[in-house]
Amino acid sequence: MGTSDSPPHSIYFGYGSNLWLDQMSRRCPSTPYLGLGRLKDYHWFINERGYANIAHSTTYLDQDETDEVWGLIYSLTPEDEAMLDINEGVPYAYEKEVIPVEFWEKGTPDVGKGAGRNVDMLVYIDHKRSEGGYKPREEYIVRMNKGIDDALKEGVPMEYVERVLRPYIPAEEQGVEVEKLAQRQAGGFEDESGVIPARVTAEAVGSGVDLVGGGGGAGAGAGGGGGVKNLTKIWEGRE
């Protein structure tokens, strides 16, 4: 998590293709996996861009069950957060928020069972395209299935995968060329939806500089700099 002399880290909740541990290690090489998270009263869907998104729920699924989103938790250095901003298309596609997430540390007994502890975490949400019912992009199906495999190994419930993810993400191979595209996208995302300006994507991929955030760097965006950066104190102090 860093020393007292190192810049503060953000605690990040990944719920889409960043369930894929290898993708996160390639995009954010200094980012360790911390454990499992559950975000209550939100629902998961594929939006019109063809990628995963979440939105706050206003109604219950039924009398006994509320919406919930499961994800994997990572610690982001400021540099890795800036690179994640680029890959997530901040602020054109996703915006950044700090939201309390129920957390189970990796390696603990019965991870994902019982009650976890609430920790404020960095979450990327697309508020402009907040409706579901759309088809995922073919290469995104590949990346999501790799993420689902990792998520299940880390303790995400199979029931959640079958009920929430599988209606959008079929468990099937997509072909060699689609697999190759998925691998390229995992290493450095290039937007195919037209939402992120082409020059931003091209320059970011070529230089690795945080051009998307408008110079704000880590902690910029809808979540605000101070609130995101201070998340390390919550984690390191086990508050």
15 is in an annotated binding site: yes
Residue 207 phi/psi, 5-degree rounding, is -110, -25
- Residues ≥6 apart with Cβ < 8 Å to 103: 34, 35, 36, 37, 73, 116, 117, 118, 119, 121
Task: Report cis status (omega within 30 of 0) of the bond before 197.
Answer: no
Structure tokens at 196: 């992120």
- Residue 17 annotated as part of some ligand binding site: yes
Residue with tokens 């369930």: 19
Structure tokens at 164: 């929430």
What b/e readout covers 203-222, taking b as 16+ CB neighbours within 10 angstroms?
A: ebeeeeebbbbeeeebbbbe
Residues 123, 127, 132: CA angle, nearest 5 degrees: 100
Residue 16 annotated in ligand binding? yes
Query: Is 89 a known ligand-binding residue?
Result: no
Residue with tokens 């299935």: 145
Q: Are 104 and 12 in contact (CB under 8 A)?
A: no
Residue 14 tokens read as 């990944």
- 140 is known to lie in a ligand binding site: yes
Helix (H, G, I), strand (E, B) or coil at 11: strand
88 is catalytic: yes
Catalytic residue of the set 81, 88, 95, 139: 88
14 annotated ligand binder: yes
Give binding residues for substrate as ranges.
Answer: 12-17, 140
Residues that are catalytic: 88
